[in-house]
Amino acid sequence: MMARLPVHDIEQTVSNALKNEIIQILKLDIIENKQLIKYITDNCPPANHLVHACVTEVVVDKDILNIEASAIKLRSFLEEQLSLGIPVKSDDTCVINVLFTTR
């Protein structure tokens, strides 16, 4: 059975998840990179810009969204937007799993 997908809700969920997981995607150490993390969280560009910059795929499953984000693209985007250097901790693609249900 096919259901209508609430695109706005999916976009909002992806944006929120990405913003909440920036530090994990970049694999920054909360002690070693404390000041950098604070600067990124205090000055983070809008979440929808982050999505366009680094999300490579979103898979909508029955009760979950699988969001694939590129650490390389995210780091590059943040370095450009915030005029700072971010240490290379990971070049991996990160998958964020978020619970999601349609109304």
Check whether 90 has a pLDDT greater than 80. no
pLDDT in tens, 55-78: 999 998 888 999 999 999 999 999
CA distance linking residue 86 with residue 73, whole number of Å: 12
Write down the H helix ranges in the chain: 7-20, 22-26, 34-43, 47-54, 71-82
Read off the DSSP letter of residue 92: S
Q: What is the pTM of this model?
A: 0.85
Query: End-to-end alpha-carbon separation of the chain, Å?
Result: 15
CA distance linking residue 13 with residue 40, whole number of Å: 20
